[in-house]
């Protein structure tokens, strides 16, 4: 099973198309396909902050519908999902940019995009277990003992990471480095925490290289375990990147 895993896109549509082309995907109707039958896997956070969230939703919807891609939701996807369901969610931390795009399309297009996004979230698992259990795609990661489980605690972990409930001085949630103690045999590919370069540790790979913060959009080729990247067109925001010691 050959899969190209894609990090957090956050509305960076142009970078995504460039990355798909660089990976060898070719345009077919509304989506893309690989001549050697490779598949894509998105680690979630398709929207918010970047310039073209709606185009990213449409493209990933087409890819998933055509069985060219796997998708798992991220915390931003979960919030947009609840927005589309009419729940009272705060339009901040990037959601406001996606809502602004939605306010600029016709009623017909709005309901079309809403349907596409509900399909994506409702038809996808919280995390994907692929290649006979050798590969797991989870937005913020998952602990080995939780693979196969889907309770509320696992959902929070998969969407938000190993949070303590405390906040850093800058207001961001404190996140523990779960990958440091990951002891599973399956390779866990995840995103959520922007890093300057893909981070390989204990059979885990963080491929969120902060495209929306001016970093790069990264793909991890599985099982080759090599990366392919395109630079971001967004302004660089140094403080958004996490460094590990
Ligand atoms: Mn993200």
In the chain, what are the domains?
3-240 (3.60.21.10)
Q: Ligand 1 mean position to 17 CA, how many Å?
A: 18
Query: Is residue 13 within 8 Å of residue 52, measured between CB atoms?
Result: yes
Task: Name the percent of the chain lying above pLDDT 70.
Answer: 100
> What is the Å distance from ligand 1's center to 45 Cα?
5
Give the up-direction half-sphere exposure of residue 29: CA atoms within 13 A in the CB hemisphere: 7
CA 18 to centroid of ligand 1, rounded, Å: 20
- H-helix or E-strand spanning residue 175: strand 173-176
Which tokens in the block code for residue 14? 């142009």
CA of 21 to the centre of ligand 1 (A): 23
Q: What is the pLDDT of residues 129-174, one digit of tens each?
A: 999 999 999 999 999 999 999 999 999 999 999 988 899 888 888 8
Asked if 189 and 137 count as a contact pair (C-beta separation under 8 A), the reply is yes
**Cα 176 to middle of ligand 1, angstroms:** 16
pLDDT tens-digit profile of 186-230?
999 999 999 999 999 999 999 999 999 999 999 999 999 999 999
What's 144's DSSP letter?
A: G
pTM: 0.96
């Amino acid at each position: 099973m050959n899969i190209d895993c894609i990090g957090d896109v956050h509305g960076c549509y142009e970078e995504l198309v460039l990355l798909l082309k660089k990976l060898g995907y070719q345009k077919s109707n509304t989506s893309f396909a690989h001549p050697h039958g490779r598949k894509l896997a998105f680690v979630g956070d398709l929207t918010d902050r970047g310039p073209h969230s709606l185009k990213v939703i449409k493209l990933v919807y087409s890819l998933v519908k055509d069985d060219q891609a796997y998708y798992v939701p991220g915390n931003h996807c979960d919030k947009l999902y609840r927005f589309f369901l009419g729940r009272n969610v705060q339009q901040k931390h990037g959601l406001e940019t996606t809502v602004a795009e939605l306010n600029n399309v016709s009623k017909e297009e709005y309901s079309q995009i809403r349907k596409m996004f509900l399909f994506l979230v409702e038809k996808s698992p919280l995390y994907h277990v692929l290649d006979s259990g050798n590969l797991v795609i989870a937005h913020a990661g998952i602990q080995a003992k939780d693979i196969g489980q889907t309770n509320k605690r696992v959902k929070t972990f998969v969407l938000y990471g190993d949070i303590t409930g405390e906040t850093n001085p800058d207001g961001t949630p404190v996140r523990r480095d779960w990958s440091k103690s990951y002891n599973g045999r399956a390779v866990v590919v995840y995103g959520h925490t922007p890093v300057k370069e893909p981070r390989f540790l204990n059979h885990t790979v963080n491929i969120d290289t902060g495209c929306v913060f001016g970093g790069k959009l990264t793909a991890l080729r599985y099982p080759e375990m090599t990366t392919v990247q395109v630079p971001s067109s967004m302004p660089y925001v140094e403080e958004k990147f996490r460094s590990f010691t």
